[in-house]
Amino acid sequence: MSDSTSLVPMNLDQLPSVQVGSDADFDAISKSSEFLARLQLFTKGKAINKGLVKPGHYGIPEGEEVEDLGDVIDILPLARRTKAIDMSDKDAVIAVYDAQSKEFLRIQEKSAEKDSSCMFGPSFLVYERSSGRFLEYFCGTKSARGEAKKLFPYLPLTQPMLDAAAKSGVNVTEMAPHGPIPVTLKSKLVEKGDWSWHVPVVVKCMTQFNKLPTGEVLLREITRFLNVLGDTSTVVQEPEGKKSRKR
């Protein structure tokens, strides 16, 4: 095979830098889009039946494919927001982020009904190590909501957050601001009678995150995640025929 560099009739080895920004910045930007992919713990369903992902594994569903991440993954939790979602009408899925709104409370109440297609709980913006991607991790089931509380201490804690907590009567004398703390997510099989399902397990990560996007990229993604437009919205169509999903 011929050397492709021979197509350039001069030596360009001594050119100055031809990019503004680090390789990490470009890599993060190329993986970012208007639609935030979601991180999901799979236990049953079509994706497992089709062999796209194993039960008890975390994965990133995208259209008809799933990126199988395995049953143990490392994440960096960056932000959280409340979320309720009504999927009873697949053509008009409703996502709500104001936990005090009537629509949120309606979905929350309806979620207790069997096969309601309604879920509510905390939604996290996380950076997953192996994929190098920003993802939404929505803890909308009863078991996931219970374990989600263990993620809270690993989120960034800022001085304004401490000041607000102090004003509300929380004792913050032994607290100090800190950045996001790495977390390992595992899965566990729960069996009750004839039923069985996998639940998430949160433990402290013992391996440092060495490759991260710059602070500017992290701040941009956190801002986009928290600045959801409006309280109630129907989903929009994703590119390339992927299923609809609201960021």
Q: Is residue 201 situated within a structural domain?
A: yes
Of the listed ranges 127-131, 140-144, 150-154, 232-236, the one predicted with least confidence: 232-236
CA nearest 118: which of 88, 90, 96? 88
Q: Is residue 94 situated within a structural domain?
A: yes
Q: Is residue 56 situated within a structural domain?
A: yes
Which amino acid type is present at position 23?
D
- The H or E element spanning position 19 is none
Q: Is residue 13 situated within a structural domain?
A: no
The encoded tokens of residue 146 equal 């219970």
CA nearest 242: which of 54, 66, 8? 66
Cα pseudo-dihedral 130, 131, 132, 133, rounded to 10:
-140
Q: Is residue 125 situated within a structural domain?
A: yes
pLDDT at 247 over 50: no
Instruction: Supply the pLDDT for residue 31.
Output: 52
Longest CA–CA separation in the chain, Å: 74
- Residue 178 DSSP one-character state: B
Q: Is residue 18 situated within a structural domain?
A: no
Quick one: average pLDDT of 172-185?
A: 90
The encoded tokens of residue 127 equal 């950076």
Of the chain, the percentage scoring pLDDT greater than 70 comes to 79
CB crowding 163-178: b at 16 or more within 10 Å, else e:
eeeeeeeeeeeeeeee
Q: State pTM to two decimals.
A: 0.79
Render pLDDT for 97-149 as a digit per residue (tens, 0 to 9). Answer: 999 999 999 999 999 998 899 999 999 999 999 999 999 999 999 889 989 99
What band does 4 get if pLDDT is binned at 50, 70 and 90?
very low
**Residue span of the structural domain in which 137 resides:** 37-241
Instruction: Supply the pLDDT for residue 172.
Output: 85
- Paired strand residues for 202: 185
Instruction: Supply the pLDDT for residue 158.
Output: 87
Report the DSSP pairing between strands 38-41 and 133-138. parallel
Distance CA 122, CA 141 (A): 10
Q: Is residue 189 situated within a structural domain?
A: yes
Q: Is residue 206 situated within a structural domain?
A: yes
Look at the chain and report how many structural domains it folds into. Answer: 1
Instruction: Supply the pLDDT for residue 41.
Output: 96
CA nearest 84: which of 101, 51, 107? 107
